[in-house]
Amino acid sequence: MNPETVQWLQVENTTKCNAWCPGCGRNKGGFGLADNLIIEDLDLSRFRQVLELFPNLETIQFCATYGDAIAAHNIIDHVQLAKQYAKKIHIHTHGGIRNSKWWAQFAEILKDVNHEVWFAIDGLAGVHEIYRQGTNFDNTLNNAKEFINAGGHAVWQFIPFAHNEHQIKDCMRMSQHLGFRRFKFVHTVREKFQGKHYRTGELVNFQPWSGSKNTNPYQLISERTSLTVADCRHVSQNSVYLNANGLLSPCCYLNTSRTVDNDQFPDIKKEINTNPTRECLTLCGNGVKLRHQL
């Protein structure tokens, strides 16, 4: 991999979060933190070191695997530094962290750069919290309002489940009324699974919404036998992933100890055409999509 070709850097700038979403890898189905999870924020000097490796960055995306970007104590420093190296900044958050005054100030910081902040809002009051455990709809919405009113560019991110699909149209109308730039569906393997209540540990079943093509994507993992360049974000978008410990890897799924400055990434593009890794095949393989086309 040639660092000069990298245009997209996905950054996990923290492993902190105050939510207990059952489909998140930072916890055990929503109840209790995952074993061996290290709570940390990305070191600013390491972040700068990595940014200097990639002279042609177009986009920096703060989208953590084990945390919420806004939870980092040094998120402002991260963003100010990112503005010096990229033309566009994406930030993903559930939006329930900090207060409305902070969010208005954050919009001011982002005004001079092309940006989007994705707020994960999965329904209205009382429904949003079913999956976004530990958050509060009203707090999230107030933060988003202040951010938008102060000039921030916001996207309403929505994961559809059976329990919230009846509110999709209402959420879309609200997003337009409040000034969100877009309303974005996120379809993931989290559409059907069994989680736990974040306070009691009681089992909670999550069912797919009626528009889902997959009743259970995990059932088809063994049938995924091919992978194309278009399926791989690392290859198709020339992107890499930086975790909160400062380690670089091809993507968040291959979150290993390989670092660009000390080692070479595997030739994923070549491996796609010859012998893709099990992780690549399982998580990004097109077996599921082929099944739907038959």
- For the chain, list the domains and their CATH numbers: 3-211+233-274 (3.20.20.70)
Q: How far is CA 212 from CA 21, 165, 181, 190, in A?
A: 20, 11, 25, 11
Between CA 257 and CA 254 the distance in angstroms is 9
Report the relative pairing of strands 154-158 and 114-120 from DSSP bridges.
parallel
How confident is the model at residue 180, as a pLDDT? Answer: 98
How confident is the model at residue 136, as a pLDDT? Answer: 97
Q: What is the pTM of this model?
A: 0.90
Between CA 198 and CA 181 the distance in angstroms is 32
How confident is the model at residue 267, as a pLDDT? Answer: 77
How confident is the model at residue 283, as a pLDDT? Answer: 74
Amino acid letter for position 13: N
How confident is the model at residue 228, as a pLDDT? Answer: 77
Q: How far is CA 113 from CA 60, 61, 77, 104, 153, in A?
A: 12, 13, 15, 16, 10
3-state secondary structure of 60: strand
Mean pLDDT by 10 residues, the chain (294 residues): 90 97 94 95 97 96 95 98 98 97 98 98 98 97 98 97 95 98 80 88 92 52 66 85 92 68 68 75 59 29
Helix-strand-coil percent breakdown of the chain, rounded to 5?
A: 35, 15, 50
How confident is the model at residue 252, as a pLDDT? Answer: 86
* Burial degree of 174 (CB within 10 A; 0-12, 13-18, 19+): middle
